[in-house]
Amino acid sequence: MSIIETRDLVRDFKKTRAVDRMTFSVEPGEAVGYIGANGAGKSTTIKMLTGILKPTSGHVRTCGLDPMRQRVEVARRVGVVFGQRSQLWWDLPLRDSFAILGAIHRMDEAATRARTDLLVEQLEMGPQLGTAVRSLSLGQRMRAEIAAALLHSPELLILDEPTIGLDVLSKQRLREFLVAERREQGTTLLLTTHDMGDIERLCDRVLVVDHGRLAFDGTLTGLAGTVGAQRILVIDLAQPTPDLHDVPGATLVDSESDGLRQRLSFDAEATTVAAVLAHVSSRHEVRDLTIEEPDIEDVVRRIYAASGRT
């Protein structure tokens, strides 16, 4: 059974169609990035998945349930983090929020405590347990929100902009935790974000939504391939070298310092880093290399452009 299933899902607001005949499904254990511009319909979809908004028409099932009719049952099996809204009780110590949520989810006190301890340890939040939520830093609060959403061990975790406003280090800790959580619990993940690092680190599948319509559904590499975005291999060589024009499957972008640094673009579907590197290193001494991934925001822009919108 799919964890999420939508068919011809439509939601109209007064004059606009926020979600337009959206059809997709997510299987248990998948990690799906849901991306698109502001106002493309991401939050509206999430609200329909969780029973906050009633669809104008079409079919939606979350954990096999109708979110409008079975909102409470859906809430038992899904965890949701709204990046810009809090699930926590801002005027009480963090510890209390977990205790209250445990009671709301009808977990007994021992189970609540055990689960809280585990999440707090994994998210390294021990020192903050006694701190009032309003005094937490944004990074700490986000980790707390995620722990709160996972307290009742949901099958599906929906994250709406979980890394918005976080510094690099906080983002990284959050992503590492989510990767581990998924590996250990097999939790299904649906994530909206503007941060392509989130997608690259966390998701094996990407849905691109544009003006309420699904513009792409596939892997991240596939997405880059679809719009012709290419990866770039930056090679530092030991000796000044003539421009590398003859590498199979790769094209020279530019070279610097008499050819000490050369940038080659290649299509990830057509060849591999290893093949390109093997070809170059059989002829020249390679000192260092870096790979520049395609800029996904650029990729999304191209998808929009390709579908005739901006």
Residues forming the site for other proteins (CB under 8 A): 13, 43-44, 47, 50-54, 71-73, 75-76, 78, 80, 82, 84-87, 89, 91-92, 96, 99-101, 103-106
- Residue 35 to residue 52: CA distance in whole angstroms: 20
Helical H segments across the chain, by residue range:
42-49, 71-77, 94-104, 109-122, 138-150, 168-185, 196-202, 220-226, 273-281, 296-306
Name which of 44, 45, 79, 78 is nearest 62 in CA terms. Answer: 78
Least distance CB 100 / other proteins (angstroms): 5
Least distance CB 91 / other proteins (angstroms): 4
| Residue 224 near residue 196, CB atoms below 8 Å | no
Least distance CB 37 / other proteins (angstroms): 14
Angle CA(137)–CA(178)–CA(90) in degrees, nearest 5? 30
Residue 1 or 72: the one with the smaller Cβ distance to other proteins is: 72
Residue 76 or 284: the one with the smaller Cβ distance to other proteins is: 76
Residue 33 or 83: the one with the smaller Cβ distance to other proteins is: 83
Residue 86 or 307: the one with the smaller Cβ distance to other proteins is: 86
| Cβ-proximal residues to 90 (8 Å cutoff; 6+ apart), any chain | 132, 133, 134
275, amino acid identity: A
Residue 78 or 199: the one with the smaller Cβ distance to other proteins is: 78
Least distance CB 131 / other proteins (angstroms): 13
- Residue 231 to residue 221: CA distance in whole angstroms: 10
Least distance CB 236 / other proteins (angstroms): 45
Least distance CB 179 / other proteins (angstroms): 24
Paired sense of beta strands 78-82 and 261-266, if any = unpaired
Residue 55 or 225: the one with the smaller Cβ distance to other proteins is: 55
